[in-house]
Amino acid sequence: MALTKLNFGGNQQALVAANIPTLTSSKMPAGSVLQVIMAEKTNAQQITANSTYQDVTGLTLNITPISTSNKVFITVQFRWGNNSSVNNRIRIMRNSTEVQFIDLGNIYYNFSSPNRPYMDSANSHLDSPSTTSQITYKIQAYTSGGHFTFNGRGGETNDEKRCQLVAMEIAG
């Protein structure tokens, strides 16, 4: 399908004079992406082994849905490691509600460095918040032991990558 872009410099009267309908989010078909918000983290963070969830700094974003019937598609991609390979988890939170739990499991060996294992991971979730109020999505991490590093290798903070949390509002 060919797309044509007409630039009227934001002049609404020019659109009306040219008989071009104004496209609003309420006129978008179901499944259309209405807005995209992203948070990015470029440094590593050690997660304390105290068997409680902790916020991952830098992976929090706010989005305000246009309609209560719209969905929010959340994706997160990141590197993680634990040099003791114990119980490691993350979860996606909507305000104070867990919307997805991700069991990262254990890493026992990585060919690049058996003493400092890591894994690149990604996950997604289609959320139905049913609100037009601002929503805060964030990532929390958990470990029951070892040196768990979010966005780095187990026990180290010098192997950072870019990790991202993305929220896309989808027309319902």
Residue 116 has pLDDT above 70, yes or no: no
24-170 topology per CATH: Jelly Rolls (2.60.120)
DSSP state of 23: P
Q: Left, alpha or beta for 105 (phi > 0: left; psi -120 to 50: alpha)?
A: left
- Say if strands 71-82 and 148-150 run parallel, antiparallel, or are unpaired: antiparallel
Say how many Å lie between the first and final Cα of the chain, rounded.
23
Q: For residue range 68-111, what is the model confidence (pLDDT) as tens digits?
A: 999 999 999 998 888 776 688 999 999 999 999 988 876 654 44
- Residue 51 to residue 17: CA distance in whole angstroms: 63
- Residue 144 to residue 92: CA distance in whole angstroms: 18
Are 80 and 106 spatial neighbours (Cβ–Cβ below 8 Å)?
no
Sequence spans of domains, the chain: 24-170
Residue type, 1: M
pLDDT score, position 125: 96
- Weakest-pLDDT range from 33-42, 56-65, 68-77, 148-157: 148-157
pTM of the model: 0.80
- Weakest-pLDDT range from 2-6, 48-52, 65-69, 159-163: 2-6
